């Protein structure tokens, strides 16, 4: 009995020392993460406007959530966000995978190209947004300069509210008016291209790590059996990359729904016909501009949280079971 008590005291002392070392970090997490989360949940059920004293704050229940869900501006921001996520995440995934496969081969300057592709990711979104805003400039931007040099008509880029499919099919006499089918506006698609350029290097590095972890004996056996490069990719590379693919799809989609900075810098007023306003941009407008509707903004934040949570659970349900972990 005494031996058991001594063992318990020894473990208690070890755990106490461990948590004592962790206490500063736990305090920072509680102060800058846990406390704001709890406070914002409470605020989402009030009419607090940020500068009001707590004595004037009223409890409004789910009124903020109801108002957000009935707001046409929120519906527009939701559509824009889905457009961004629908095109940004898959295109980034495809380009990153292709870049990783190419840089996994024995080519000259492989390390140089890996570094060059990764550099945009470590550059701040603000700097990249300013750079690409000038790149898309209607009068002296490089984008229209390249189009003119090819004999093509210059585009409005960040000032064009029409959907990309509407613009593509217009010369054929096909007029696509439905917002979902018309695709993101050219302004939004320009931001999507910027996002892909910035993110490719990060996901490429992750894919490279996965590719280099695949046992070469699989490819040797496949070559002996007469498998061509496409068959080796389809039956060896892609299945063995499924854990990394699963991770990248989830992370890239979550990041797509949280996008904000490029819209604020490249199209500060929400873009042409509000086609670049995302959910986070809408949150920023409600909470930090005009009337400072902090309760409304907090409600938007938790609706976004529920959307991301739901999409992540759906991904996990349908894609998680298809992940192949090499034993």
For the stretch 58-115, pLDDT in tens is 898 899 999 999 999 999 999 999 999 999 999 999 999 999 998 888 777 777 888 8
DSSP state for residue 46 in the 8-state scheme = B
pLDDT of res. 299: 94
CATH superfamily of 63-322: MetI-like (1.10.3720.10)
* Half-sphere exposure of residue 157: CA atoms within 13 angstroms, side-chain side: 24
d(CA 34, CA 27): 10
Q: Classify the C-alpha dihedral 8-12-13-14 as positive or negative.
A: positive
- Cα radius of gyration (the chain): 25
Query: Would you state the structure tokens that stand for residue 104, as one six-digit string?
Result: 């996994």
56 versus 275: the higher-pLDDT residue is 275
Q: Does pLDDT of 286 surpass 70? A: yes
Model pLDDT, residue 279: 95
Indicate the pLDDT class of residue 321, thresholds 50, 70 and 90.
confident
- pLDDT at residue 48, rounded to an integer: 86
Work out the average pLDDT over 226-244: 88
pLDDT in tens, 184-234: 999 999 999 999 999 999 999 999 988 988 888 888 888 888 888 888 888
Answer whether residue 259 shows pLDDT above 90. Answer: yes
Q: For 126-183, write each residue's pLDDT tens digit.
A: 999 999 999 999 888 899 999 999 888 899 999 999 989 888 888 888 888 777 788 8
pTM of the model: 0.88
- 257 CB contacts (<8 Å, ≥6 apart)? 81, 85, 279, 304, 307, 308, 311
Residue 326 makes CB contacts below 8 A (sequence gap 6+) with 240
The whole-angstrom separation of Cα 181 and Cα 174 is 12
Average pLDDT over every residue of 297-323: 89
**Hey, which residues does 163 pair with through a beta bridge?**
185
Nearest-angstrom CA–CA distance, 324 and 297: 41
Q: What is the Cα–Cα distance from 164 to 174, expressed in whole angstroms?
A: 13
Give the other-Cβ count within 10 Å of 130's Cβ: 13
Report the first-to-last Cα separation within the chain, whole angstroms: 44
Query: What are the residue ranges of helices labelled H in the chain?
Result: 2-29, 35-43, 63-70, 72-103, 110-122, 125-135, 142-149, 164-169, 179-182, 186-212, 216-224, 229-232, 238-240, 242-257, 261-266, 279-288, 294-319
**69: which 2 tokens?**
């869900």
Q: How many CB atoms lie within 10 A of CB 47?
A: 17
- Average pLDDT value for residue range 314-324: 81
* CA pair distance 165, 41, nearest whole angstrom: 40
pLDDT of residue 326: 63
């Amino acid at each position: 009995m005494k031996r058991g008590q001594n063992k318990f005291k020894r473990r208690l002392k070890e755990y106490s020392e461990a948590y004592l070392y962790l206490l500063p970090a736990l305090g920072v997490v509680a102060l800058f993460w846990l406390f704001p989360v709890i406070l914002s949940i409470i605020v989402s059920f009030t009419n607090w406007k940020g500068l009001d004293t707590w004595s004037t704050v009223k409890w409004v229940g789910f009124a903020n959530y109801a108002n957000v869900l009935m707001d046409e501006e929120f519906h527009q921001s939701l559509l824009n966000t889905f457009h961004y996520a629908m095109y940004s995440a898959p295109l980034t995934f495809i380009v990153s995978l292709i870049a990783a496969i190419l840089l996994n081969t024995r080519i000259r300057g492989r390390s140089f190209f890996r570094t060059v592709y990764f550099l945009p990711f470590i550059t701040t979104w603000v700097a990249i947004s300013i750079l690409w805003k000038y790149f898309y400039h209607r009068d002296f931007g490089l984008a229209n300069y390249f189009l003119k040099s090819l004999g093509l008509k210059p585009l409005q880029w960040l000032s064009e509210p029409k959907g990309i499919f509407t613009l593509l099919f217009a010369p054929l006499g096909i007029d696509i008016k439905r917002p979902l089918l018309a695709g993101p506006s050219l302004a939004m698609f320009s931001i999507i291209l910027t996002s892909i350029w910035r993110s490719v290097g990060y996901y490429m590095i992750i894919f490279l790590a996965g590719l280099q972890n695949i046992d070469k004996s699989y490819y040797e056996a496949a070559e002996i059996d007469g498998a061509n490069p496409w068959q080796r990719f389809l039956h060896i590379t892609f299945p063995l990359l499924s854990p990394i693919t699963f991770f990248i799809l989830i992370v890239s989609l979550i990041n797509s729904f949280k996008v904000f900075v490029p819209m604020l810098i490249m199209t500060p007023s929400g873009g042409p016909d509000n086609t670049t306003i995302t959910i986070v941009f809408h949150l920023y407008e409600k909470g930090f501009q005009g009337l400072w509707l902090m309760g409304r903004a907090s409600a938007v934040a938790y609706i976004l949280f529920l959307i991301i949570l739901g999409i992540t659970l759906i991904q996990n349900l349908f894609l998680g079971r298809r992940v192949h972990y090499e034993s």
